[in-house]
Structure 1
Amino acid sequence: MAVYMRDQFPFLGLSTPLRRQLEKDFIKESKASKAVDWVFVEELWELPEREFQYAACDYLRAMQIFLTEADLPRLKQLVVTKSWWDTTDSLDRTIGKINFPSSIVDATMLEWSSDDNFWLRRVAIDHQLLRKDKMKTNLLEKILINNLNQSEFFINKAIGWILRDYSKTNPDWVRTFIEKHKNQMANLSIKEASKYL
């Protein structure tokens, strides 16, 4: 796994199914508390092996009903610490579900979409994945426009993914967006976005 992740982090070698089995009882007990234990999350994030960050992401996903807009600064800190696609791609949908629909989350995602940190921008781009007919297209368009003309692979891939995902629900909107902005979009973004068109 370490090689697959370009040796960014050390690994224990724990498989995802085994990790989730080990977490199961703790997460069940945690839900009964109806509160996110941020000390626990931050302690996991500080440990060197990547599986601990995965466990923190699993925990937050399980506890997302208890997350509020007040947790966004802590979530932001997770995104920008030990950043890589694996954790940001887990955190993006957790963040996107906070008190949905939330004008505060929307404003925060718009702010993150023009941040210097491209991992925050990636979370902003993909936080609406799997929303289907609940996609906020005005917000999506603003966030995407903030990220056009980019050379960063992880941004261009994220643009392609969100458009590809939404094309299953609203192909006309995606076609129109591509046609309007194709000269500012990376070929990778267009290729990914066009997969189902």
Structure 2
Amino acid sequence: MKKSGNNLLPYVEGIRHKFAGHRSSSNAAPMKKYMRDQFEFFGIKSVLRRELSKEYIKFVGLPSRNELEKTIIQLWNQPERELQYFAMELLAASKKMWEPTDMKWIEKLVTTKSWWDTVDFLASNAAGPWFRKFPEKKSEITSRWNASENFWLQRMSILFQLKYKAETDTKILRSYILPLMESKEFFIRKAIGWALREYAKTDPKFVSKLVKELPLSPLSKKEAMKGIERIRRREEAL
């Protein structure tokens, strides 16, 4: 696939044109405000955006392996947030093409234009599946994230197992919570609670014990206990 005159790959130009055809300034303004004015928006609501994305991938297909990284990076560099969302969905849809070196550039997506909307998707829908495919890379990379000074990478280290359920490595989960549990950063405290709340669906005893043992922040503890309380209410209703 050759570059176009404006240096965008035709694949990127195509989805950009498709999204631009559904631009809505009346939607874009509140969407931008919701994201604290950090990003521009076409103003396409999520349901329609997903429909447009599926239509495009169905019609055009996925990029070739040789152009996958460049395509996603170009999408990420576009000003409109919807194109970052499309880039993430494209990445997840391309998992059969993933290679052992891909996390080097996937990590750049985490640390560029970072906010909870992209970081959380990348944690559970990119990093999580990628480490399942390349488990030998998990410890080295996630331990580096956990020790990073970038709190978005720290958040990734807590959340990448979010969808692992019974396959969750509880030793890793606990060991990554320990150095971060006194963090003052809201997004870290929230991530710890969210990870424990989610794992409580699989092993409530482990989560309950951990919450009692560790001096978690009130926010982390509150979020974690939501999972325990939900299970308790369900059992009482039986």
Please, what TM-score do these two structures have when normalized by structure 1?
Answer: 0.92
> Match for 1:16: what amino acid?
S
Q: For the residues of structure 1 that align with 2:202 and 2:177, how far apart are their CA atoms?
A: 18
Tell whether the 8 Å contact from 2:190 to 2:220 is kept in structure 1 after alignment: yes
| Runs of 4+ more than 4 Å apart | 31-36
Residue 104 of structure 1 and its aligned partner are, at CA, apart by 0.7
2:49 is equivalent to residue 19 of structure 1: yes
> Match for 2:87: what amino acid?
A
Q: Match for 1:116 among 149, 167, 176?
A: 149
* Residues 72 and 160 (structure 1), Cα distance of their counterparts in 2 relative to 1, 3 Å cut: same
* Residues 75 and 87 (structure 1), Cα distance of their counterparts in 2 relative to 1, 3 Å cut: same
Give the match for residue 14 of structure 2.
Answer: none
> Match for 1:85: what amino acid?
W
Q: Radius of gyration: which is bigger?
A: 2
Structure 2: any 5+ residue segments left out of the alignment?
1-30, 229-238
Aligned with 2:88: secondary structure? Answer: helix
Aligned with 1:69: secondary structure? Answer: coil
Q: For the residues of structure 2 that align with 1:45 and 1:97, how far apart are their CA atoms?
A: 20
Q: For the residues of structure 2 that align with 1:86 and 1:36, how far apart are their CA atoms?
A: 25
* Residues 74 and 191 (structure 1), Cα distance of their counterparts in 2 relative to 1, 3 Å cut: same
Q: For the residues of structure 1 that align with 2:51 and 2:113, how far apart are their CA atoms?
A: 24
> Match for 1:124: what amino acid?
S
How many equivalent pairs are there? 195
Give the match for residue 173 of structure 1.
Answer: 206
Structure 1: any 5+ residue segments left out of the alignment?
none
Residue 106 of structure 1 and its aligned partner are, at CA, apart by 3.1
Residue 149 of structure 1 and its aligned partner are, at CA, apart by 0.6
Residue 61 of structure 1 and its aligned partner are, at CA, apart by 1.4
> Match for 1:154: what amino acid?
F
> Match for 2:92: what amino acid?
R
* Higher relative contact order, chain-length normalized (CA < 8 Å, sep 6+): 1
